Structure 1
Amino acid sequence: MADAPRPLLLIDVDGPLNPYAAKPTRRPKGYRTHRMRPTGWDDPGLKPLRVWLNPAHGPALTALPYQLVWCTTWQAEANVWIGPQLGLPVLEHVSFQDVRRPAVDDGTYFKTHEVVRWAAGRPFAWVDDEVTDADREYVADVHPGPALLLTINPRIGLLPADFEQLWEWAESPRE
């Protein structure tokens, strides 16, 4: 019998990896400032986007027993701007039709329906700063596989306890 495939780890950038809501004077320890010009920031009149990244997150993420996937409004551009700063390989990404946050009338986050569709029943963990209990309820009701949704504080970013929880969940038995 073949080993079961690794669960997916869906990774948001802004919040979990880039604690954008932290005050510059309270930037979490270990983070470095990067100035970036992703799509939408390519006007030379605009100041480059400030992004804080912790280089320790790359090795910590790749050490986890997951298939890593971008789940961010950066979409494929996360492979250009974020991944190289963290030492991550090129990752698949969940594509969103409208990253301007279309209205969803069921109380869920705009990414949630697409995440469930994209996961297609596969086990997944999702780290994002905007998931709520409404998203957890929707996923539990609609997604046929196991799922873990972690809400990450956008002032702090991913913490060692989050990595521990991801390890424990990935190693837990699946039905």
Structure 2
Amino acid sequence: MTDSALGPVVAIDIDGVLRLRHEPVIVDLWPGVFAAEFTVRRGSFPTAHHGQPDWDANGEVTFVNAFSGVGAAWIRDLLDRGIEVDWASTWGLHANKHFPQILGIPPLPAATLGPARPGETTVQWKMTQLVEQFPGRPLLWVDDDVPGPRQDMLADLRAPRDRALTRTHWIGTPTVGITLDDVAEMDEWLALASTHEGQRQLRADRRRELARVAARRRRSRQRLERDRRERALRLRQAKAESPIRRPGDTRPSTRGDQGDR
């Protein structure tokens, strides 16, 4: 596929994916992890979805964090292959003031910039913006904080024609970030998403998966209906077998005793 307007987009988070979530910094925790120091000014720090750090008298704070060298190398490789990579982070465009130099990459576009709605979680805020962008293009969202077991929620929110071309990859260990196993799995999907033949396969895979889900739901409804009917039958049988008494009647039931007379 040569048309970049139809090529895949990788929307990648920073914290827990590239910038690792652990203190103190341990660079030998995982292969490729490295430490870096950077200073942030008050005006270049995100205000939404972030607690404010302890600013010094100059309105600055210095962080020392561990970073995923595997993730940084993967982004460089994606860009070399002509795949678009966008930030999908609460850092927004502030990310380009701090992280490209650390990761050895150029500044990236930010796919998540809009204001948050009242009560909206970080995940909801990201999805709201991602679903409105990149129509007709495969979208790979890489994050350590996804909608629980519903990792296909972003796909369900996109336009019907784009749902098969959507994948959410969950980084399960934010103290480690992107690993070589993550890269292999994501590259396999991107290889399919980057060709017309591969996209046809992804659409066929989604149709089969939807058919399996529909079949499971149908079997579940049938099982519930069967259980309901069996309970109703047992209830009718229990009523038929129980003694029939009138109000105030204390005489023992004679049902079933006629044969002893």
Do the two structures share a fold, i.e. TM-score over 0.5? yes
Q: Which has the larger radius of gyration?
A: 2
Q: Is the 8 A contact 2:11 2:139 kept in 1?
A: yes
Greater RCO between the two (CA within 8 Å, min separation 6)?
Answer: 1
How many Å separate the matches in 2 of 1:48 and 1:92?
A: 25
How many aligned positions are there? Answer: 171
Q: Tell me: CA distance 1:86–1:120, structure 2 relative to 1, closer, same or farther (3 Å).
A: same
Q: Is the 8 A contact 2:11 2:140 kept in 1?
A: yes
Which amino acid in 2 is paired with 1:143? R
Q: What are the ranges of 5 or more consecutive residues in structure 1 without an aligned counterpart?
A: none
Q: How does 1:132-151 map to 2 (within 5 A)?
A: 132-133=147-148, 136-144=151-159, 145=162, 146-151=165-170
Query: Aligned-pair distance for 1:43?
Result: 3.6
TM-score when normalising by structure 2: 0.57
How many Å separate the matches in 1 of 2:103 and 2:148?
A: 30
Q: Is the 8 A contact 2:112 2:126 kept in 1?
A: no
Which amino acid in 2 is paired with 1:155? T
Q: Is the 8 A contact 1:11 1:127 kept in 2?
A: yes
Query: Aligned-pair distance for 1:98?
Result: 3.1
Q: Is the 8 A contact 1:132 1:151 kept in 2?
A: no
Query: Aligned-pair distance for 1:25?
Result: 5.8
Match of 1:54 in 2: 68
Match of 2:213 in 1: none
Render the CA deviation track for 1:14-63: whole Å, top value 9, x for unaligned. Answer: 0100112x242655332213233152459434642333223453332121
Which amino acid in 1 is paired with 2:24? P
Match of 1:116 in 2: 131
Query: Aligned-pair distance for 1:94?
Result: 1.3
Flag the structure with higher helix content.
2
TM-score when normalising by structure 1: 0.81
Query: Aligned-pair distance for 1:85?
Result: 1.0
Q: How does 1:6-155 map to 2 (within 5 A)?
A: 6-20=7-21, 22-24=22-24, 26-27=26-27, 28-29=29-30, 30-37=33-40, 39-40=44-45, 43-45=55-57, 47-64=61-78, 65=81, 66-98=83-115, 102-104=118-120, 109-133=124-148, 136-144=151-159, 145=162, 146-152=165-171, 153-155=173-175
Q: Tell me: CA distance 1:79–1:135, structure 2 relative to 1, closer, same or farther (3 Å).
A: farther
Q: Tell me: CA distance 1:132–1:26, structure 2 relative to 1, closer, same or farther (3 Å).
A: farther
Q: Tell me: CA distance 1:52–1:26, structure 2 relative to 1, closer, same or farther (3 Å).
A: closer
Q: What is the aligned-residue identity percentage? A: 22
How many Å separate the matches in 1 of 2:38 and 2:61?
A: 9
SS of 1:69's partner is: strand
Query: Aligned-pair distance for 1:82?
Result: 0.5
Q: Tell me: CA distance 1:26–1:43, structure 2 relative to 1, closer, same or farther (3 Å).
A: closer
Q: CA RMSD in A?
A: 2.8
Query: Aligned-pair distance for 1:13?
Result: 0.5
How many Å separate the matches in 2 of 1:86 and 1:129?
A: 18
How many Å separate the matches in 1 of 2:189 and 2:62?
A: 37
Match of 1:174 in 2: 199
Which amino acid in 1 is paired with 2:174? P
Q: Is the 8 A contact 1:70 1:92 kept in 2?
A: yes
